[in-house]
Amino acid sequence: MNLKEFKAIISAKSNQSLEDLMLAARRETLKHFGRTIQLYSPLYLSNECVNSCTYCGFNRRSKIKRITLDIKQVEKEAQFLRKQGFQHILLLTGEDSSRVPVDYLENAIRTAKDLFVSVSIEVYPLREEDYSRLIAAGVDGLTIYQETYHLPTYHRVHPDGPKRDFKWRLGAPERAARAGMRKIGIGFLLGLYDWRDEALKLAEHLQSLLKNFWQAQFQISFPRINLPAGRQAPIEADFKVGYPVSDQEFIRLLCAFRLLFPQIGFTLSTRERAKLRDKIFPFGFTQMSAGSKTFPGAYSVGIKSGKQFEIADDRTPRQVVKALVKSGYEPVWKDWERSFA
Amino acid sequence: MKKDLLLIAKRKFTSRLLLGTGKFSSPSVMKEAIKNSGAEIVTVALRRIDLNNPKDHILSYIDPNKYLILPNTSGSKTAEEAVRLARISRAFGLPAWVKLEVTPDPRYLLPDPIETLRAAEILIREGFTVLPYINADPVLAKRLEELGCATIMPLGSPIGSAQGIRTKANLEIIIEQAKVPVVVDAGLGSPSHAAEAMEMGAAAVLVNTAIAAADDPAEMAAAFKLAVEAGRKAFLSGMIAASATASASSPLQL
């Protein structure tokens, strides 16, 4: 499939049936990934933030309890997740380079690396030399979403703070790849702008990265801002989803990406409800989080700090594993080696 | 009639079908497929097993007395990474055999000839039995054979692509020139692809995705077993050459 066909498939006027697309997408996913789903868990290190992203619970204007875990607390959280079986971990922060500097990230990565086979980060955009330092400390993956590729929308939802710099964020995957990051996950936040336009931009972004950094393992994700029925907003009281994406559209988007990028790993978020996750994962997803909590200290420290967003699938990892097995899929806890570095 | 055995590094095998263990829906489905395939050599990705955990489920489902467990270095991007992985695997008591995979491109998983050659050199020096996964490059095949590799494992087409044998012209040269067994690895999507490789004179084939991702992996494993046996028998029986035009049944009949 090429970009033109991709565009036709996701077009509002497309007459390609969703069922046919789903069958084709499942076939491609099976060929390249088999009947397996890799599991990972997020671990929030900090919710301190100097930005004011309108859709985010960590927005500096939010009156939430703010904390940054100390290294002992990071270790405690990590041990809790390791005991649940996780071998792949994703460390997350807000953006506050004075309270959560690169030195801190380096220490947190070292701590996590003692327990997990694979350590990824989802933090504010860094310089190439900082990515190099973190890679040396043991990180092998980076997730950084552009949130929206549409500049006017980007400026509207990021009214102030360092995140307002669109280009600096857009350049982060490239800087990380130059530094030698093994796995790089990109994506946009569904709901901020017209998803068809965003999908095309994401596809072009990925194609360009693949050409320039043929050795990096790129991944994509489709985080969707969900509003549970009867709820006004996930966390931010005055935030409204301007461009809601329906389940049908979400599946169409997923299948189109699978057909355009057959060998790229796709991540399924716990932002989606359990029932939908169980139904759609075979049509393109290759990894998912389970038992996720979106605030620092959530698993074992016992501090009720502020959340980044609401989780729609609150099943335990054990329950998620059970559902996967029931669908005829093998949950994969380990798919990496410490000696890759 | 003399038994037709596959000889790799002085070890004898009756089956000419090697199985990969990735992509299965569960260890029990994998076990059933291995059984039905008749395979005696099964390859296991070291990145997928937790050597610190003796109860790791992939390994606990494969009886090491019945099967040769062939650890592979999939995911390695450089010779150093592959060598490190092989050393760890041997230190944990897995066989000192290694299916050498060095694939710096994570999409098509095509093997890096330079890094593979470097890794093979080191591993052979360290006493490993090395089975390298390579592109269908006849010169590289000879270079690896000269280093002392136990087999050559050229690809039919990219891993998981199910495109079958797309490297035929080069595979024919590799098979013609090889003094070690040639195992066609990767890209075989159906039993007929496996039969084709065997008819060409490959010593064996390695299959994973086509079996693991089939609707019924156990039955598909049985189908591949038959295809490999059929292809082998055909090769040994002296096939008549394919011809583009019909020919009279007697050369004298004009």
Q: How far apart are CA A335 and CA A117, in angstroms?
A: 8
Instruction: Establish how many alpha carbons lie within 13 A of residue A161's alpha carbon, considering only the half-sphere containing its beta carbon.
Output: 24
CB contact under 8 A, A334 and B48: yes
Quick one: pLDDT at residue B87? 95
Given a contact cutoff of 8 angstroms between Cβ atoms, the answer to whether A198 and A89 are in contact is no
Q: Would you state the structure tokens that stand for residue B127, as one six-digit string?
A: 């006493």
Q: How far apart are CA A146 and CA B64, in angstroms?
A: 49
pLDDT(B95) > 50: yes
Confidence of residue B216 (pLDDT cuts 50, 70, 90): very high
> Comparing A162 with B160, which gets the higher pLDDT?
A162
Average pLDDT over residues B29-33: 94
User: Which residue type, as a one-letter code, is found at position A262?
Assistant: P
Average pLDDT over residues B71-81: 95
CB contact under 8 A, B23 and A35: yes
pLDDT in tens, A46-101: 999 999 999 888 999 888 899 999 999 999 999 999 999 999 999 999 999 999 99
Residue B212: list chain A partners with CB under 8 A: 34-35
Count of structural domains within chain A: 1
Q: Closest residue of B to A35, CA-based?
A: B25
Write out the residue range of the structural domain in which residue A305 sits: 3-331
pLDDT(B9) > 60: yes
pLDDT(A212) > 80: yes
pLDDT(B248) > 70: no
Residue A324: list chain B partners with CB under 8 A: none
Angle at A119 between CA A114 and CA A123, to 5 degrees: 125
pLDDT in tens, A261-275: 999 999 999 889 999
Task: Tell me whether A215 touches chain B (CB under 8 Å).
Answer: yes
CATH number reported for the structural domain that contains residue B56 in this entry: 3.20.20.70
Count of structural domains within chain B: 1
Share of chain B above pLDDT 90, in %: 80
Q: Which of A38, A207, A330 to probe the B interface (max B CBs under 10 A)?
A: A330
pTM for the full predicted model: 0.91
pLDDT(B242) > 80: no
Work out the mean pLDDT of chain A and round it to a whole number. Answer: 93
Work out the mean pLDDT of chain B and round it to a whole number. Answer: 92
Burial letters for A238-271: b for 16+ Cβ neighbours within 10 Å, e otherwise?
ebebebebeeebbbbbbbbbbbbbbbbbbbbbbb
Q: Which of B50, B77, B107 sits opposite A263 (nearest CB)?
A: B107
Average pLDDT over residues A199-210: 98
Confidence of residue B92 (pLDDT cuts 50, 70, 90): confident
Quick one: pLDDT at residue B250? 62
Confidence of residue A223 (pLDDT cuts 50, 70, 90): very high
pLDDT(A304) > 90: no
Q: Would you state the structure tokens that stand for residue B84, as one six-digit string?
A: 């490190």
Quick one: pLDDT at residue A240? 80
Q: Would you state the structure tokens that stand for residue B45, as one six-digit string?
A: 């990705």
Burial of B86 (0-12, 13-18, 19+ CB in 10 A): buried
Quick one: pLDDT at residue B225? 98
Is residue A101 a part of any domain in this protein?
yes
CB contact under 8 A, A35 and B105: no
Is residue A337 a part of any domain in this protein?
no
Write out the residue range of the structural domain in which residue B142 sits: 6-236
Q: Which of A114-118, A202-206, A306-310, A328-332 has the lowest mean pLDDT?
A: A306-310
Cβ contacts below 8 Å, chain A against chain B, sum to: 74
Distance from the B71 Cα atom to the nearest Cα atom in chain A, whole angstroms: 13
Is residue B254 a part of any domain in this protein?
no
Is residue B59 a part of any domain in this protein?
yes
Q: Which of A263, A322, A338 to probe the B interface (max B CBs under 10 A)?
A: A263
Q: Phi then psi for B109, rounded to 5 degrees? A: 55, 40
Confidence of residue B2 (pLDDT cuts 50, 70, 90): confident
pLDDT(B1) > 70: no
Confidence of residue B243 (pLDDT cuts 50, 70, 90): low
Indicate if B99 belongs to the active site.
Answer: yes
Is residue B241 a part of any domain in this protein?
no
Is residue A24 a part of any domain in this protein?
yes
Q: Which of A329, A330, A339 sits opposite B85 (nearest CB)?
A: A339
Report CA dihedral (B171, B175, B178, B180) to the nearest 10 degrees: 100
Is residue B184 a part of any domain in this protein?
yes
Q: Which of B19, B23, B61 to probe the A interface (max A CBs under 10 A)?
A: B23
Q: Would you state the structure tokens that stand for residue B155, as one six-digit string?
A: 């690809």
Is residue B252 a part of any domain in this protein?
no
Average pLDDT over residues A154-171: 96
Quick one: pLDDT at residue A233? 47
State the ipTM, two decimals.
0.86
Active-site residue (options: B3, B99, B225, B233): B99
pLDDT(A182) > 90: yes
Instruction: Establish how many alpha carbons lie within 13 A of residue A77's alpha carbon, considering only the half-sphere containing its beta carbon.
Output: 32
Given a contact cutoff of 8 angstroms between Cβ atoms, the answer to whether A249 and A268 are in contact is no
Is residue B142 a part of any domain in this protein?
yes
Share of chain B above pLDDT 70, in %: 94
Q: Closest residue of B to A262, CA-based?
A: B107
CATH number reported for the structural domain that contains residue A34 in this entry: 3.20.20.70
Quick one: pLDDT at residue A231? 47
- What is the rounded radius of gyration, in angstroms, for the C-alpha atoms of chain B? 18
Quick one: pLDDT at residue A230? 42
Residues of B with CB under 8 A from a CB of A: 22-27, 46-50, 75-77, 81, 84-85, 88, 104-108, 160-162, 209, 212-213
pLDDT in tens, B163-192: 999 999 999 999 999 999 999 999 999 999
Distance from the B239 Cα atom to the nearest Cα atom in chain A, whole angstroms: 33
Residue B112: list chain A partners with CB under 8 A: none
Q: Which of B25, B47, B107 sits opposite A328 (nearest CB)?
A: B25
Is residue A254 a part of any domain in this protein?
yes
